Chains A and B, each alone.
Chain A
Amino acid sequence: MSIITVHNLSVHYSRDGEIIPALRNISFEIEPGETLAIVGESGSGKSTVALSLMGLILPYEGKITGGEIIFDGRNLLVQSQEQWRSIRGKDIAIVLQDPFSSLNPVLTAGEQIAESVRHTLVAGNDIKATVLNALRETLFTDTERIYASYPHQLSGGQRQRVAIAMAIINHPRILIADEPTTALDVTTQKEVLDLLVRLKQELSLTMVFITHNLALAAMRADRVMIMREGTIVESGPTAAVFRHPHHAYTQALVAAVPRLKYREHIK
C-alpha cells in the first residue's frame, strides 16, 4: 500500500501571460519507508513535483491543472487551504535547495524552527526544549548559540542543518529534499547527505530525494525516477535502472556516471 499516489498530475506555469507546461500527466507512487530519487536536469519538472506534493505552487507562479494526489486515502488537490495547512510541516515536510534564501533574514534560527511546533504542541510543553532537541538531532553541539543566531551569522552547511531541523521537528512521515546540497561546497555536501540518510533511518521517514546528480541518487535511493520535459522517462528499482536502462535518455545519463562509484554501489 503506497503512502502517496500521484495520478495524471499536470501543472502549468504562467509567465508574461504565457502558459508554460511544467508537468504533463505524470503518475507515480511512493512506498512507505523507501527513498525515492527523482532525477532530471533543470527544467525537467522535478522540483515542480516536490512543490505540488506540498501544495506550494503559489498563485502568481502557476497552478495545478489536473490530476490527483492521494495521501491517506484523501485527494489533497480537492482539500481546503485549512486542510492543506494541517498536513504541511506535520505529515509532509520539505528542505529547499538554497539555505541562503530559504531562511528568513530577520528572524533568528530558533524563532523560525519554533514556529513549526507552536501550533502542534499542547500548552505546557516547552517549545524551546523541543527546538534545542531538534538542533541536537541535526548534529549541532552549541545548540543555544545556534538558537539565538540570525541566518547571516551561520555558514551554508549550518543553515541547511537548521532548515533540516525545521523540517524534521514534527517527525513528519515524508521528507522531501529538493536538491539539498547543490548550493553547498563539496565537503559540506557529504555532511548534509549523511545527516539526511541517518535521520531517515532514525525517524523511519519516507524520503523523496530530488537531484540532478544520478550518481548521488544511485548511492542512496531505493528507487529512481528519471524525468525530462515534464514527463517521467523511466522509473524502477535503482539497481535495475542502472543495469538495464530502457530509454535512450537514461542510457546516456548512466553512461555519464563515473565508473567507480557505480560499481561500488552495485556491489
Chain B
Amino acid sequence: MINYFFRRLLLTIPVLLGITLLTFLVMHLTPGSPADTMTDMNLKVSAQAKSRLAELYGLNKPLHVQYVRWLGRIVRLDFGNSFRDERPAIRKIAERLPATLLLNILSMGLILIIAIPLGVLAALYQKKLFDTVATIGVYIGFSIPAFWLALMLMILFGLKLGWLPLSGLHSINYDDLSLPGKCLDLARHLVLPVFISAFTGLAGLTRYTRSSMIDVLKQDYIRMAYAKGLPRRRILFHHALKNALLPVITIFGLSLPGLIGGGFIFETIFAYPGMGRLGYDAIMARDYPVVMAVGVIVAFLTLAGNLIADMSYAIADPRITLK
C-alpha cells in the first residue's frame, strides 16, 4: 500500500515538470509573448518593464537556460512580481486562493450530495419518468452557458427580487458585522456562484453514477444477494452502491480542472475575488508573472486532486490494495 502511494507520487514528478515546461513554452512561443512585448506598443509593458523582464527571464539567454533559471525560482515559489502593482505574484495568488477553494469545495460538495442520489435513483427508475426528467435536467445544466445563467440569475435575484447581493464575496460593511452576521453575509454572496458552479458541473457525475449503477445491478453478485434473502435496501446500498461508486471516485478527480476552469468567466461576472478572475485579469493585462503563476498553481492543484482521487480509489478497492 505504502509502496503503491510512493510509486504513484514518483510518477507525478515528470508531470509536474511537464506542467512547468508547458506553461513556459506556451508563454514564450506564442506570438506576443514576453520576448515580443518589449517591442510592442503596449504602454503597460514599456521600457520600464523591459529591464525587469530581461532580468526575470534572462531573455538574452537561450530558451532552455531561461527555463532552467525560471524553474529554479519557482521551486522556491518565486514567480516574480506582478507588472501591474509590483507585488509578488505568489502573494496575489495566496490572497485569492482561499476564495477559490471555498467556492470549489462548496460546489463539489453540493455536486456529490445531488449527483450520487440522482444517479442512483435514475438507475433504479431506468427509462421511467424520473430518469428522463433527471437526464434532461442535468444535460440542461451541462449545456447552459454558465456566464449567461449567472447573468440571468443576478438580474432575477439581485435586481428584480433584491434577495441576494450582486457581486463580490463581502458587503462593504463586512468588517462591522458580528460573527453570525459575517457568516450570513458570506453565505448570501456565495449562494449564486456555488449554485451555478454545481448546476453546470452536475452532468458528468450524475450520468456516470447512473451507468455505473446500472452495470452493477446486472451483476451476478447482486442476484446472489437477493438469493440470500437480503432486504432490498441492504442490497442497493451495501452491495451495489459500494461497487458503483468505485469508478466514480476517479471521474470526480478528473472533473476537477473543469470546476476550477469554469471559474474563469463567471468569477469575472460575479466580481468574485478568486483565482479565475485573477488569471483572467492578468491575461488581459499581459501580466506574465501572474499568468504563469496562476497556470502552474492551478495545474498543481488539479494534479493534487487527481492524486487524492487515485489514492482514495486504492484504499476503497480491495483488489488494488494488496497488489
Contacts and interface: CB of A to CB of B under 8 A. Distances in A.
Interface of chain B: mostly helix, strand, loop or mixed = helix
Interface in A78-107: 81, 85-90, 93-94, 96, 98, 101-107
Interface in B227-250: 227-232, 234, 238-239, 242-243, 246
B226 A88 contact: yes
B221 A101 contact: yes
Contact of B228 (A81, A88, A101, A150): A88
Nearest to B126: A60
B224, B230, B318 pick with most chain A CB within 10 angstroms: B224
A153 interface: yes
Given A104-B243, A106-B242, A150 B220 contact: no
A88 B229 contact: yes
Contacts of B242: 104, 106-107
Given A104-B239, A106-B246, A116 B228 contact: yes
A150 B227 contact: no
B30 interface: no
Nearest to A86: B229
B223 A150 contact: no
Nearest to A167: B227
A56 B227 contact: yes
B239 A107 contact: yes
A56 B223 contact: yes
B93 interface: no
Given A106-B246, A106-B317, A150-B318, A94 B221 contact: no
Contacts of A54: 226-227
A106 B229 contact: no
Nearest to B234: A115
B97 to A, nearest CB: 36
Interface residues of B, number: 27
Nearest to A97: B220
Contact of B221 (A104, A116, A153): A104
Contacts of A102: 220-221, 223-224
A108 to B, nearest CB: 8
Contacts of B322: 150, 153
Interface residues of A, number: 32
A124 B226 CA distance: 25
Contact of A105 (B224, B228, B238, B243): B243
B221 A150 contact: no
A163 interface: yes
B318 A94 contact: no
B227 A106 contact: no
A103 B221 contact: yes
Contact of A89 (B220, B228, B234): B228
A89 B229 CA distance: 5
B76 interface: no
Most buried by B among A60, A87, A94, A115: A115
B225 interface: yes
A51 to B, nearest CB: 8
Contact of B229 (A85, A101, A150, A163): A85
B318 A98 contact: no
B181 to A, nearest CB: 47
Nearest to A104: B221
A108 B318 CA distance: 9
Interface in A128-154: 150, 152-153
A208 to B, nearest CB: 13
A119 interface: yes
Nearest to A96: B220
A191 B238 CA distance: 32
Given A101-B219, A104-B221, A94 B243 contact: no
A256 B126 CA distance: 45
Nearest to B221: A104
A251 B217 CA distance: 40
Interface in A190-242: none
Contacts of B217: 58, 60
28 contacts: A60-B218, A81-B232, A85-B229, A87-B229, A89-B227, A89-B228, A98-B220, A101-B219, A101-B221, A102-B220, A102-B221, A102-B223, A102-B224, A103-B221, A104-B225, A104-B243, A105-B221, A105-B318, A106-B242, A106-B317, A107-B239, A108-B318, A119-B229, A150-B318, A152-B319, A153-B322, A166-B224, A166-B228
Interface of B: 126, 217-221, 223-232, 234, 238-239, 242-243, 246, 316-319, 322
User: 5 closest A-B pairs (Cβ-Cβ)?
Assistant: A88-B229, A89-B229, A101-B220, A104-B221, A89-B228
Given A86-B229, A96-B223, A101-B220, 13 more contacts: A58-B217, A58-B223, A60-B218, A89-B228, A96-B227, A98-B220, A101-B221, A103-B224, A105-B318, A106-B242, A106-B246, A115-B234, A150-B319
